[in-house]
Amino acid sequence: MTDERTAQQAAAGRRDSAPGAGASARTQAADPTQARGRTAGQPPAEGPRPTQDPTRERPSGSGGRAAARAQRRPVRRRVMVRKVDPWSVLKLSLVFYFSMLVVVMLGLGVFWVTIERLGVIETLLAFLAELQFDVQINTGNLFRAAFLVGLLNVVLWSGINVFGALLYNLVADVMGGLRLTLAEDE
């Protein structure tokens, strides 16, 4: 601690007022690279300390940023998932599966309109009429039934996900949980 203070005072051009600090100690402490980690009267460390070359060019532009990123090492952290909140799983599952239901219903709607415009439905009904089958297709009822089956699937699969979260929590209490390694560029 005294040597660091002496080095700072010598670098600032001040004289050390501590008793017993001779000129040789002040001279040795004037070079802060040599004063680190040794006491007064101890010989300097062997060999010069590595310093950064001031003439070395720094990379500039976008290529320099890429090189600087390439030199950085990602920070890795190991984490363990010990508990999954069932309420969060339920909310996320309901939103996910309902969004999937909407996407599937829109896809079915586009598909139905396309095959209806191409005349596939009329051709199929005419073929069934030749076979003595009288079939009526009500598009509204068809989509209503598909939507209700989709809602049943939303509830069913959300419940399965919540059950899976509860089961994971029980197993994680016994076995310790899921270990993950996260990497982050700094």
Q: Which helix (H) or strand (E) holds 81?
A: strand 75-81
Least confident of 5-9, 25-29, 81-85: 25-29
CA distance 81 to 176: 9
pLDDT at 152 over 50: yes
CA distance 10 to 136: 101
pLDDT of residue 75: 84
pLDDT of residue 73: 74
Q: Which helix (H) or strand (E) holds 75?
A: strand 75-81
First-to-last alpha carbon distance for the chain, in angstroms, is 33
Query: Which residue in the block uniquely carries the two structure tokens 């940023």?
Result: 65
Which DSSP symbol is given to 83?
-
Instruction: Report the 10 Å Cβ neighbour count for 2.
Output: 13
Are 182 and 77 in contact, with CB atoms under 8 Å apart?
Answer: yes
- Residue range 74-88: mean pLDDT, rounded: 90
Express each pLDDT in 94-148 by its tens digit.
999 999 999 999 999 999 999 999 999 999 999 998 998 888 888 999 999 999 9
> Where exactly are the structural domains of the chain?
1-40, 85-165
Instruction: Collapse the DSSP code of 80 into the 3-class scheme (helix H, G, I; strand E, B; otherwise coil) and give the result.
Output: strand
| Dihedral over Cα of 121, 122, 123, 125: its sign | positive
Q: Which carries the bigger pLDDT value, residue 57 or residue 83?
A: 83
pLDDT at 9 over 80: no
pLDDT at 17 over 80: no
pLDDT of residue 42: 53
pLDDT at 179 over 70: yes
Please give the full DSSP string across 150-182, using - where no structure is assigned.
HHHHHHHHHHHHHHHHHHHHHHHHHH--EEEEE
Q: Which helix (H) or strand (E) holds 141?
A: helix 139-175
pLDDT of residue 18: 44
| Dihedral over Cα of 114, 117, 122, 124: its sign | negative
| Dihedral over Cα of 9, 13, 16, 21: its sign | positive
Residue 53: both structure tokens together: 């070359």
pLDDT of residue 7: 55
Instruction: Collapse the DSSP code of 6 into the 3-class scheme (helix H, G, I; strand E, B; otherwise coil) and give the result.
Output: helix
pLDDT at 89 over 60: yes
Express each pLDDT in 22-76 by its tens digit.
444 444 444 444 444 445 555 555 555 555 555 555 555 556 666 666 677 778 8
pLDDT of residue 177: 86
